[in-house]
Structure 1
C-alpha cells in the first residue's frame, strides 16, 4: 500500500492507495494517520472504500510534523571510505527538526550567503509506526510503518565549521521527502536501489542491501537512547558519490535539478534556487 499526503483547498489530506488510486483516510497527514492505534485497518478501509482524491490535489511531504527526525551518517561502506573515516561499530546519529523537511517537488531556496558548498545525499528513510524504547531488532522490524525517499542535502561549509554537524544538516526546508510512503509489507529494502541525479547525470547509485546497519538495526540502536513514536523519520545514510568526496569537489548551483529516487517507491525532483 502507498500512503501519501495531498494538499487541496488550503488543507492537507492523508491518502491510501492499494492500486485503484489515492483515497481519503480522514487523517490530515501520513504521520497523523500513524498516530492512530488502528492505522493499518483505517488505511485498508480507506483504500477500498474512501473518497477518491481529486486530480487537482497536489502532493506534499507525507510526514508533516514528526516528533523526531534522526539521521545515520556513514552507513554505506563506500561512502565511509570516500570520506576517509573508519568503519563504525555502532551507528553515527545526528538530528534534524520538522522544519528541515520539504516536499518532493519543492524548490530548495537559499540565500547567497547561506552556503557555497551545497551537497547531495540520496537516502532511504524509515517511517516509524509504533512506540519503541529499548526495543529488540525484531520488535523494531515489526514497528516499521513503511519507507520513503529523502535527500539529506548538506551545507558542507556550515557542517565542517565546527566539530558538530548540526548547522549544516538542519537548515530549514532543505530535506525533501516523499512522494509516498510504501508500507513495510510491500517493500523489502534489500531488493531495491537508491539513485541521485544532478541535471540528469547519475552521481550516486547503490543497492540498499549495502547498508552497514539495515533499517531495523538502526531503529534498535536509536531506541536505546530515545523513544521513537509513530510518524518519526529515520534517514538511513547515503552511498558513495557525494560532491564533497570527489576530486575536485563539486557542489550544487542555482538552477540545477536534483533528482532522488528509490526504486519501488518513487522520485523527488527539486530545483536549487539561490536567490540573488
Structure 2
C-alpha cells in the first residue's frame, strides 16, 4: 500500500488515506462502509500490526474501481501532509553511511576520513518534521550554512529489542523519503542535534510504502536537486551499514517501537562537500526523489521579511 496523511480541503482535519491509482481512499470511512473498522491516524494504523496491513491491502484490491460512496477523493484535490505529522519520538539519524560521503565530509567538516566501524547515530526532534510543499525555515541569525541531504527513511512496524540482522526487516512497517537539512555552522563540540534538529529540518513523505511492496530497500535510486540542478544522485546499494544492520545496532541498546523512524544516511553531493561550498537560501527550492516512493519539493523561506531580503541580496 501507498499510505498518506492528507487534508481534503483547507481547514479540514488530517485523515489517513491509501493512494490507489489517482485516488485517495479515506481508510476510516472505507472501513466503516465495508464493515472493517480502521483508524484515521497513521500511528494508530501502524499499531494494529502486520495483519492489518495484509487485510487492508486485500480489501482495497476487492473494492478497487467500485468504491463506496463518500470514501474517496481525487489525489489532485488533496493536500498531502507528512505521513506521520508528529512522530512520538525523535527520528534516529545515521551519519556518514555512504563511503563517498565519508570522504567528502572529511575534506570540509571535522569528521574522520576513516570509515566508521559502527553506525554513527544522532537524532532529530519531532518538531523538525514537515510535509510535501511545506517551507524549510532559514534563520540567518542562526545559520549561514544550510545544507541538504536526501535519505531513505525506515518506519518501524513492531517492537524491536536486541533483534538480529536476520530478523530485522520483519520489524519494518514501510519506507519513505526524508530530507535531512543541516546547519553546518551549528555543530557544537562534535554534537549534531542543534545542527540537524531545528524546526522544519526534516521534510518527510510524500507517502509510506508498506514493506511488502519493497522487499529489498537496497536497490533504490535516490537524488536531490536545488533549483532544478542535480546535486545528489546515487542508489541505496551503496550504504555502508544496510538497514538490517542499523536496526540490529540501534535495538541492541535502544528499544525501537512502532512508528519510530530511521533516516539511513545520505550519499555524496552535499553542499559542504563541494568546491566551493554551496548553501541554500530563501527563495531556493529543494526537490528530492526516491525510487518507488516519490518526490518531495520544499521551498526555503527566510524567518521574517528582513531575513528573506538579506539572504536574497547575498545570493545576488
TM-score by length of structure 1 reads 0.94
TM superposition shift of 1:19: 4.2
Please report how far the alpha carbon of residue 46 of structure 1 lies from its aligned counterpart in structure 2 after TM superposition: 5.6
Match of 1:47 in 2: 60
Note the C-alpha offset of 1:114: 2.5
Higher helix content, 1 or 2: 2
Decide whether the 8 Å contact of 2:138 with 2:281 is kept in 1: no
Q: What residue ranges of structure 1 are gaps of 5+ in the alignment?
A: none
Could you tell me which of 51, 58, 66 is aligned with 2:79?
A: 58
Distance (Å, rounded) in 1 between the aligned partners of 2:176 and 2:237: 16
Deviation sequence 1:234-256 (CA, Å, 0-9, x none): 00000001111112111001100
Which residue number corresponds to residue 185 of structure 1?
A: 212
Aligned positions of 1:78-97 closer than 5 A: 78-84=100-106, 85=112, 86-97=114-125
**Kept in 2: contact 1:196–1:260 (CA 8 A):** yes
Q: CA RMSD in A?
A: 1.7
Residue 260 of structure 2: aligned partner: 232
Assess if the C-alpha contact under 8 Å between 1:132 and 1:227 holds in 2: yes
Distance 1:114 1:32, change over 3 A: farther
Q: Is 1:33 matched with 2:55?
A: no
> 1:92-107 alignment to 2 at 5 Å?
92-107=120-135
Aligned residues of 2:138 and 2:282 also touching (Cα < 8 A): no
Question: Alignment partner of 1:79: what SS?
Answer: helix
Residue 193 of structure 2 corresponds to 166
- 1:196 Cα deviation after fit: 0.6
- 2-side partners of 1:162 and 1:101: how far apart? 25
Match of 1:16 in 2: 18
Is residue 155 of structure 1 aligned with residue 157 of structure 2?
no
Count residues in correspondence.
Answer: 275
- State the partner residue of 2:202: 175
> Is residue 25–residue 42 contact of structure 1 (8 Å, CA) maintained in 2?
no
**Aligned residue among 248, 255, 271 for 2:299:** 271
Cα distance in 2 between the residues matched to 1:111 and 1:72: 24
**What's the offset of the Cα at 1:138?**
2.4
Equivalent residue, structure 1, for 2:7: 7
Which deviates more, 64-73 or 171-180?
64-73
Comparing 119-128 with 54-63, which one deviates more in the overlay? 54-63
* 1:196 and 2:224 correspond: yes
TM-score by length of 2: 0.82
Q: Distance in 2 between matches of 1:195 and 1:144?
A: 23
Unaligned runs of 5+ in 2: 29-38, 107-111, 307-316
Of 128, 134, 139, which residue of structure 1 is paired with 2:167? 139
Kindly name which structure, 1 or 2, has the bigger radius of gyration based on alpha carbons. Answer: 2
Counterpart CA distance in 2 for 1:241 and 1:74 is: 13
Structure scoring higher RCO (CA < 8 A, sep ≥ 6) equals: 1
Secondary structure, aligned partner of 1:80 = helix
Q: Which moved more, 1:223-232 or 1:38-47?
A: 38-47
* Partners of 1:46 and 1:172 in 2: CA distance: 38
